[in-house]
């Protein structure tokens, strides 16, 4: 997606045209006849205005919707999923505005039946329009930057980039580090460092500002080491802003790449799944977590009481886990061990390795672990969006650090949101078997689909039921 006046004008005209078309079709006799047969909506159906009054009604709607979408007319990098969500929010704002106008006795207000008919159409049509127009070819030149922590690597990779490079991002400390050894072909010019004829645009902390300000299409990553804080931080920024990323082939074992890539630079699959998979997956996550929390509320209350009666300690246990691109989030479980068990023993507890035989496990905690009921609070993380129902199991940051030194593909798990269950979980493979676990996790990334998720959820639910029955009889 490239910026320019063509995008601004084209996107605005598209919104106006689609809105006018939606209102015209909704006001047609055929559609009004169908609306009249629907429950509740049929009671609102009235003969829509025609002639000049109908034109003014349509014009009012077009002006309101087009004005509400102003933030999306500015070309800037965004993920496809973010474009869809943002556009749908704009549609809802526009419809609420039109409903507010209709509350007053305004002559050219949109009839309520027509408003209800137009809303779902625009919720689908306008997001699709912005996704489509982003992908249109443009005569504008593509824009790229190089981001890294090694001046020599930046200069080397810049020669392999076949699109115009606006500049590069690199911390000044990187130049100090190499200056005493073999200085790169960098010169101080106007208070900045020039490499390969490129201007330094700032340090690594400016990456998001630069992506938006210069409407960047591609980021080339030139890091000495693919460490979590810098390398995956830059990838995270590309992911959030819908920007393509390239990396040196030597670092391809740390990321998801296209199998067809040739040459020094390879494309990173920052978004390995299609938009429809993301939408279906997030919709299922919301439905599953909401229904689960509501349906299990009596059990949640009973577990809370049981834990309090058992030892009077806290109900929930918080632990930090690794999420997408190495970021961390807090996951909650029902406490199944004695209070402050880690502090008392000086050891870090692994939820999967401690098991029911650990003397620190409480009487209630043993039941919770055997029946998997201790994991119910994680539905809140799914509802918030930190986790998904299905995905690689999130590990503790310290365990991630230990494993990734011995399993070269381990960081590829960071390209998808962690989940409550997944292919590794249903096959009883844990972090204690990292090589086997990463094989299952990468297989899931490649095979993921809505129906594959459903299959894994059914297998996990069945597994939980069987474990609960066995725990009850034993």
Write the pLDDT tens digit of every residue in 220-258. Answer: 888 877 655 677 778 878 877 778 888 887 766 666 665
Q: 367-416 pLDDT, tens per residue?
A: 888 888 888 999 999 998 888 899 888 877 766 665 555 555 556 666 67
Terminal alpha carbon distance of the chain: 60
CA dist list (Å): 104 to 64, 101, 368: 16, 6, 57
242 and 340 share a domain? no
- Are 396 and 322 contacting, i.e. CB atoms less than 8 angstroms apart? yes
19 and 123 share a domain? yes
DSSP bridge pairs for 361 = 337
Where do we find the tokens 């209800």?
116
158 and 227 share a domain? yes
354 pLDDT exceeds 60? no
Give me 311's structure tokens. Answer: 């030892």
Per the structure, how many domains does the chain have? Answer: 3
158 and 34 share a domain? no
Confidence (pLDDT) at 371: 81
232 and 314 share a domain? no
Band (469; pLDDT cuts 50, 70, 90): confident
279 compared with 105, residue with greater pLDDT? 279
Is the residue at 139 inside a domain?
Answer: no
Is the residue at 306 inside a domain?
Answer: yes
- Are 64 and 97 contacting, i.e. CB atoms less than 8 angstroms apart? yes
CA–CA separation, 217 vs 211, rounded Å?
Answer: 8
**Domain extent at residue 69:** 5-134
CA–CA separation, 286 vs 297, rounded Å?
Answer: 16
281 and 356 share a domain? yes
Specify burial of residue 75 (Cβ count, 10 A radius: 0-12, 13-18, 19+): buried
263 and 335 share a domain? no
Is the residue at 193 inside a domain?
Answer: yes
Is the residue at 403 inside a domain?
Answer: yes
Band (173; pLDDT cuts 50, 70, 90): confident
Give me 440's structure tokens. Answer: 């299952």
Enter the DSSP assignment of 49: P
259 and 349 share a domain? no
Enter the DSSP assignment of 74: S
Look at residues 251, 268, 285 and tell me which one is the last residue of a structural domain.
268
Backbone angles phi, psi at 256, to 5 degrees: -90, 125
320 and 466 share a domain? yes
pTM over 0.85: no
Query: Residue 159 CB: number of other CB atoms within 10 A?
Result: 10
- Are 152 and 227 contacting, i.e. CB atoms less than 8 angstroms apart? no
């Amino acid at each position: 997606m490239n910026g320019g006046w063509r995008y601004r004008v084209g996107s605005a005209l598209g919104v106006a045209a689609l809105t006018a078309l939606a209102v015209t079709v909704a006001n047609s006799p055929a559609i009004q006849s169908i609306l009249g047969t629907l429950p509740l909506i049929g009671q609102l159906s009235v003969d829509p205005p025609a002639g000049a009054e109908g034109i003014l009604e349509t014009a009012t709607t077009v002006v309101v919707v087009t004005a509400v979408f102003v933030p999306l007319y500015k070309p800037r990098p965004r993920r496809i999923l973010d474009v869809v969500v943002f556009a749908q929010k704009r549609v809802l704002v526009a419809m609420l505005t039109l409903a507010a106008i209709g509350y007053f006795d305004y002559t050219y207000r949109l009839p309520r039946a027509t408003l209800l008919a137009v809303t779902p159409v625009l919720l689908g049509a306008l997001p699709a329009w912005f996704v489509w127009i982003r992908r249109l070819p443009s005569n504008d030149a593509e824009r790229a930057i190089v981001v890294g922590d090694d001046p020599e690597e930046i200069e080397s990779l810049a020669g392999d980039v076949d699109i115009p490079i606006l500049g590069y991002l690199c911390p000044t400390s990187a130049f100090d580090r190499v200056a005493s050894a073999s200085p790169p072909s960098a010169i101080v010019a106007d208070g900045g460092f020039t490499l390969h004829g490129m201007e330094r645009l700032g340090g690594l902390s400016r990456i998001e500002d630069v992506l938006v300000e210069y409407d960047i299409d591609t980021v080339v990553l030139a890091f000495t080491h693919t460490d979590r804080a810098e390398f995956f931080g830059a990838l995270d920024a590309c992911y959030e802003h819908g920007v393509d990323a390239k990396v040196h082939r030597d670092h391809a074992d740390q990321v998801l790449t296209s199998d067809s890539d040739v040459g020094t630079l390879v494309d990173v699959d920052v978004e390995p799944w299609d938009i429809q998979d993301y939408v279906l997956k997030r919709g299922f996550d919301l439905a599953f977590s909401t229904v689960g929390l509501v349906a299990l509320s009596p059990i949640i209350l009973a577990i809370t009481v049981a834990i309090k009666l058992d030892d009077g300690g806290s109900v929930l246990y918080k632990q930090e886990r690794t999420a997408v691109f190495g970021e961390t989030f807090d996951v909650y479980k029902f406490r199944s061990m004695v209070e402050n068990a880690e502090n008392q023993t000086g050891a870090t507890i692994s939820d999967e390795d401690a098991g029911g035989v650990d003397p620190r496990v409480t009487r209630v905690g043993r039941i919770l672990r055997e029946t998997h009921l201790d994991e119910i609070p994680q539905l809140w993380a799914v509802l918030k969006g930190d986790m998904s129902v299905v995905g690689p199991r999130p590990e503790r940051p310290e365990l991630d650090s230990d494993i990734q030194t011995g399993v070269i593909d381990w960081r590829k798990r960071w390209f998808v949101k962690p989940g409550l269950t997944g292919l590794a979980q249903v096959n009883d493979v844990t972090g204690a078997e990292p090589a086997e676990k990463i094989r299952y996790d990468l297989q899931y990334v490649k095979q993921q689909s809505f129906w594959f998720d459903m299959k894994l959820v059914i297998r996990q639910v069945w597994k939980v039921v069987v474990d609960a029955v066995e725990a009850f009889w034993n």
